[in-house]
């Protein structure tokens, strides 16, 4: 139950959750349209899940740091920046994977 509460909170409070959901739905629709192989679908599921997990951890880390100190602190900034960097790396990995899979099928 706590896990679902966390996910519901994520969607209620984080605009990025809706961006990730829209991206996930677009990838799912393109996957159906392009009739991908099972290996291609598995690759997309893995990288998509990687982005979701990174964003959830990033949100959790940001909340913990806000709880630790409401004031700006250079050490907390670095921690938040590292967590955001992890999301960026996951997203870039997903985009590259998607491009490798979808570009040859669409063009």
* 40 part of the active site: no
| Closest among 77, 20, 8 to 51, alpha carbons compared | 20
Query: How many other β-carbons are positioned within 10 Å of the β-carbon of residue 79?
Result: 16
Catalytic residue (one of 5, 40, 55, 62): 55
Q: Burial level of 44, CB count in 10 A (0-12/13-18/19+)?
A: buried
Catalytic residues, by residue number, are 55
């Amino acid at each position: 139950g706590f896990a679902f509460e966390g996910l519901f909170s994520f969607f209620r409070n984080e605009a990025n959750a809706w961006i990730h959901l829209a991206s996930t739905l677009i990838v799912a629709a393109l996957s159906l349209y392009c009739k991908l192989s099972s290996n291609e679908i598995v690759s997309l599921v893995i990288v998509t899940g990687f982005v979701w997990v990174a964003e959830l951890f990033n949100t959790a880390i940001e909340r913990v740091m806000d709880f630790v100190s409401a004031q700006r602190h250079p050490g907390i900034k670095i921690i938040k920046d590292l967590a955001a960097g992890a999301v960026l790396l996951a997203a870039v990995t997903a985009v590259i994977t998607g491009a490798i899979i979808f570009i040859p099928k669409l063009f």
